[in-house]
Amino acid sequence: MLDKGTFNKDKYEIGDFLDSVGAELKFGSPKHHIFFTGHCLKTMLTWF
């Protein structure tokens, strides 16, 4: 999704939104699993 976008948003709109809320995304693959985490300040998400 982050590389290609979605039906409604292209990858640049998604990236701009994540930047605007100060989001931090992490991906990892230790020995036996993979993970994805994301963080941002709730005060930046006005639609919640």
**pTM of the full structure:** 0.61
- Classify residue 3: in a domain, yes or no: no
Task: Give the integer Cα–Cα distance in Å for 12 and 48.
Answer: 22
- 13-20 long-range CB contacts below 8 Å, 24 or more apart? 20/44
Predicted pLDDT at 48? 46
- Classify residue 5: in a domain, yes or no: no
Predicted pLDDT at 45? 67
What is the residue range of 30's domain?
Answer: 11-44
- Classify residue 26: in a domain, yes or no: yes
Total count of domains within the chain? 1
28 three-class SS: strand
Q: Which residues, 6+ apart, have CB-to-CB distance to 37 below 8 Å?
A: 25, 26
Predicted pLDDT at 44? 65
Residue range 1-48, pLDDT digits in tens: 677 888 888 989 988 888 888 888 899 999 899 998 988 877 766 654
Amino acid type, 11: K
Give the Cβ contact number of residue 44 at 10 Å.
11
